[in-house]
């Protein structure tokens, strides 16, 4: 698809593959290609789950520091909006998204992984937000998505120190959801993604939107978001198929309509 980011679809699972040697540094071009890949898989009705993957050696070691080093405040003020928008496009993919993390997921790489619904890491993987060591802070969602995932105190620890978190600790604090041998990372992500294939894709999208949007608002507003999504699903064929199959003690065959 792009020079550094490709989309491969097999068995209704899309893999967004980063391939910018050596460390998948996320320069402006890579960011734009990631956003375009996210739009493609979100709009493809044949895709029911998505994997973010950087290859066997590294997920993504962060932003391209050389590209940023000479930017002024005015430059970064403009660029940061584009950067956040690119990652938000990934976070808003209306399908289950799994980050398959090998090697390093640091800085922007960690922030990209935070945009996924689930994270599978290899045993030797390391995650972190080391921007503070450069005299800056995370700028692609790290200060917002990380505390929502692991809690404010743990997020502050990682952001204030910039330390690298090994996979075992990442699992313990909820930064990743599964840890597997390094060579099994992509396979594990693929097996997880396969569990969503054949499911009611409209309901999955509605559930993801209800959870994600509900996290940003008060409880009463969140309940209203849930109510509207819940009620709206009764206009779908899948809801009728699912409830009819339940009544008949049969396996539902959802159509995505």
Catalytic annotation, residues: 111, 131
Q: Alpha-carbon distance 51 to 21, whole Å?
A: 20
Who's near 77: CB < 8 A, 6+ residues apart? none
Task: Give the residue among 74, 142, 149 at the shortest CA–CA distance from 117.
Answer: 149
How many other CB atoms sit within 10 Å of the CB of residue 68?
17
Q: Is 51 helix (H, G, I), strand (E, B) or coil?
A: strand
Determine what percent of the chain falls in helix, strand and coil, rounding each to the nearest 5.
50, 15, 35
**Cβ pair 39, 7 in contact under 8 A:** no
Task: Give the residue among 189, 230, 190 at the shortest CA–CA distance from 209.
Answer: 230
- Burial degree of 244 (CB within 10 A; 0-12, 13-18, 19+): exposed
Q: Alpha-carbon distance 86 to 81, whole Å?
A: 9
């Amino acid at each position: 698809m792009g020079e550094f980011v490709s989309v491969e679809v097999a068995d209704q699972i899309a893999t967004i593959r980063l391939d910018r040697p050596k460390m998948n540094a996320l320069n402006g071009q890579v960011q734009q290609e990631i956003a375009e890949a996210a739009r493609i898989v979100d709009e493809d009705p044949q895709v029911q789950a998505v994997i973010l993957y950087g290859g066997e050696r590294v997920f993504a070691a962060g932003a391209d520091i050389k590209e940023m080093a000479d930017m002024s405040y005015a430059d970064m003020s403009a660029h940061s909006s584009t950067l956040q928008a690119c990652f938000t496009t990934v976070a808003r993919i209306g399908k289950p998204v799994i980050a398959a993390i090998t090697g390093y997921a640091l800085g922007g790489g960690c922030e990209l992984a935070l945009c996924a619904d689930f994270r599978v890491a290899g045993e030797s993987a390391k995650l972190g937000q080391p921007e503070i060591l450069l005299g800056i802070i995370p700028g692609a969602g790290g200060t917002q998505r990380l505390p929502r995932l692991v809690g404010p105190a743990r997020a502050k620890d990682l952001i204030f120190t910039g330390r690298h978190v090994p996979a075992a600790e990442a699992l313990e604090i909820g930064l990743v959801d599964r840890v597997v041998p390094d060579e099994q990372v992509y396979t594990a992500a693929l097996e997880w993604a396969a569990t969503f294939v054949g499911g009611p894709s409209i309901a999955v999208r509605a559930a993801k939107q209800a959870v994600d949007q509900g996290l940003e608002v008060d409880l009463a507003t969140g309940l209203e978001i849930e109510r509207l999504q819940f009620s709206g699903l009764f206009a779908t064929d899948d809801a009728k198929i699912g409830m009819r199959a339940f009544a008949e003690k049969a396996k539902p065959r959802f159509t995505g309509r």
